[in-house]
Amino acid sequence: MKTKSKILVSIILTLALIVSVFALTPLTASAKERDREIVAVDSGNSFSMRLSDSGVLTWNEVTGATGYKVTLLNSMGQRIWEWDNTLTNDNRMLPFIVEMDNRKYDSGRYVIEVIAKDTNNTNSMSYYYTSNVDKLEEPRDLKWLGNNAAWEYVDGANVYTVSLYNFEGVVATKTVTECPVDFSEYNPQNGWTFTVRAETNGALKDKRNSNIAESPKKGDGTRTVNTVDSGNALNMKITESEVLMWDEVPGATGYQVILKNPIGFEIYRWDNDLTNNARVLSIISEMDRLKVGTGHYRFEVEPKGAGNVAVIANYFYTSNVDQFEAPYNLKWNGSTATWTAVDGASSYDVTLYDFNGQVKKATVTDDWYDFSEYNPQDGWTFKVQAEGDGKSTAKRSSNATESPAKTTSYNLTVVAYGTGNLTDTGKVS
C-alpha cells in the first residue's frame, strides 16, 4: 500500500507541476498548413474546362488538336506562365493548384487559358486562387541614412531585394541579408528613391514574398521631370515644362491621349479640348492629380478621323509625393480584423476574402472592422490599404497588405494548486 501511495503521490505532484507550467505560460501553437478550401469550377465552355476540388484542371479533347498549351494570365491580362510539353490528347490534365503553390503566386483572380495546338480554338475561364501560405509583411520604416538605404527587418525573411531609382528608372539592384545597403558608388541625388522586398528561401512551406515598399525621396524630395523627344510619327515630346506636345495630323478633328501601364492596361483617357489648335497636355500635373505611383507608363496619342496612333512606350514617371507605409500587424480577433494604424492616414479600405474572392469592402477611420455578419471561416483573409485625405499634398495610397489566414482559437483555462492558486488563459490556434 505504501508503494502504491508513493506512486499516486508522485503522479499527482507531476501533474501539478505540468499544470503549473501551463498556468504560468500561455499555451500557443500555430497550424503548420494554412486552412484552405479548393473551390471546384465547371466552366461550361466549349472545351468543358473543369477544376476539381482536388485542384486538377481537365478539359475535353478538341478535334484536330496535336497537343495543348495552358496559359496563366493575371487579372490585368498579362501572361505570367505557361505549361506546354506533356499536354496531349491522351493527357489533358494539369495539377493546377500544386503548380500555383510551387510558384508561390499571390491569392487573387486569374484567367486560365487552354490553347488547342494546330487549330484556331482557345478557351478560358476565370478562377480565384487562394495561396497555401501566408505572405511576409512589407518592410517598414524605410529611410535614407546619408547614401545608405535602411529599413526594419521583417520577421521570417531570409533576404531582401533592394533597388535604387533615379528619375529615369532603376540604377542598381542588390540582394542582401543585412541592412543598411550602401549606394555611395552611385552617388544618390536629391529626390532619388529605393524599394525593398522581403523574401524567403522559396521552399513550399515558406511564406510568400512581401509587397515592394517604396522609400521617401532622398533629401528634401525635389524631383527632376524626365524629358523625352520621341522622334515618332507625331514627334511626341515631354518637355521641361512638364507638358506633352505633338505635331498636327492633316484631317484630324481632334485628339485623345491615353495613359496605360507597361502591359497596355488603360488607366486614364483625356479627350476634351485637345484640338489642332491645342495639341498640348500638362501630363505631369495630370498624373500628379491622379496620384499614380512612381514607375513606367505608356502614352498614346490617337488622332480622331485621320492618321495612326503614336506612342511613347516606356516613360518613367516620378510621383510628386511619397507613399504611405503599408498597414502592419494584421491579425484576427475572433471575427474582427485589426491592424496597426499608419501615421498620417485618414482612412483605410478593408476587404474580406473567402475562397471565391471578395466578400465585403468597407472604408473606415478606425484600425479595426467587425466582419461578424459574414461569419468568416478558417482560411479566410482580409486586406487593408491606408488612404490619404485626397488633397494634392497627401501621400499616395499604401500597398494593400494581406492578413494571415483566419484560424479558430479556443480559450483554455488551467488552475494549478500549490502554495497558492494560479489561473491563466492560454490561446490555442
Mean pLDDT of 2-31: 38
pLDDT value of residue 11: 41
Q: 139 and 75 in one domain?
A: no
In a domain, 336, yes or no: no
Mean pLDDT calculated for residue range 112-132: 97
Same domain, 164 and 203: yes
Q: List beta partners, residue 337.
A: 332, 369
385: which 3 cell numbers?
490599404
Q: In this structure, are 249 and 205 located in the same domain?
A: no
Same structural domain, 162 and 193: yes
Q: Looking at residue 366, what is its pLDDT?
A: 97
| Within-domain flag for 301 | yes
Amino acid identity at 291: K
Task: Say if residue 3's pLDDT is above 50.
Answer: no
User: pLDDT tens digits for 378-427?
Assistant: 999 999 999 999 898 999 999 999 999 999 854 444 444 443 343 333 33
Q: Which of 96, 129, 162 is the last residue of a domain?
A: 129
pLDDT at 33: 60
Indicate whether 124 belongs to any domain.
yes
Segment 103-113 mean pLDDT: 97
- Quick one: pLDDT band at residue 303, thresholds 50, 70, 90? very high
- Domain boundary residue, one of 77, 106, 129: 129
Query: Is 373 within the bounds of a domain?
Result: no
Do residue 53 and residue 118 come from a single domain? yes
Q: If pLDDT is split at 50, 70 and 90, which confidence band does 127 have?
A: very high
Same structural domain, 83 and 108: yes
Distance CA 122, CA 45 (A): 10
Q: 195 with 233, same domain?
A: no
Percentage with pLDDT > 70 across the chain: 87
In a domain, 351, yes or no: no
With respect to residue 292, please indicate whether it lies within any of the assigned structural domains.
yes
Most confident of 264-268, 347-351, 411-415: 347-351
Pull the grid cell for residue 425.
488563459
239 and 215 in a common domain: no
pLDDT number for residue 35: 83
Domain holding 150: CATH number? Answer: 2.60.40
- Regarding whether 166 and 101 lie in a shared domain, the answer is no
* pTM for this predicted structure: 0.83
In this predicted structure, the answer to whether residue 1 has a pLDDT above a threshold of 70 is no
Contacting residues for 241 by C-beta, under 8 A, at least 6 apart: none
Domain boundary residue, one of 290, 317, 344: 317
Q: Where does the pLDDT of residue 221 fall: very low under 50, low under 70, confident under 90, or very high at 90 and above?
A: confident
Provide the CATH number for the domain around residue 238.
2.60.40.10
Count the domains in the chain. 4
138, pLDDT greater than 70: yes
H/E/C letters for each residue in the chain? CHHHHHHHHHHHHHHHHHHHHHHHCCCCCCCCCCCCCCCCEECCCCCCCEECCCCCEECCCCCCCCCEEEEEECCCCCEEEEECCCCECCECEECHHHHHHHCCCCCEEEEEEEEECCCCCEEEEEEEECCCCCECCCCCCCEEECCEEECCCCCCCCEEEEEEEECCEEEEEEEECCCCEECHHHCCCCCCEEEEEEECCCCCCCCECCCCEECCCCCCCCCCCCCEECCCCCCCEECCCCCEECCCCCCCCCEEEEEECCCCCEEEEECCCCCCCCCEECHHHHHHHHCCCCEEEEEEEEECCCCCCEEEEEEEECCCCCECCCCEEEEEECCEEEEECCCCCCEEEEEEEECCEEEEEEEECCCEEECHHHCCCCCCEEEEEEECCCCCCCCECCCCEECCCCCCCEEEEEEEECCCEEEEEEEEC
For residue 395, the model assigns a pLDDT of 96
Owning domain of residue 269: 228-317
| Judgement on whether residues 185 and 208 belong to the same structural domain of the protein | yes
Please state, for a pLDDT cut of 90, what percent of the chain lies above it.
81
Average pLDDT, the chain: 89
Rounded Cα gap, residues 165 and 187, in angstroms: 11
Residue 407's pLDDT is: 92
Query: Is the predicted pLDDT of residue 112 greater than 70, yes or no?
Result: yes
- The pLDDT of residue 34: 76
**pLDDT bucket at 74, cuts 50 / 70 / 90:** very high
Amino acid identity at 119 = T
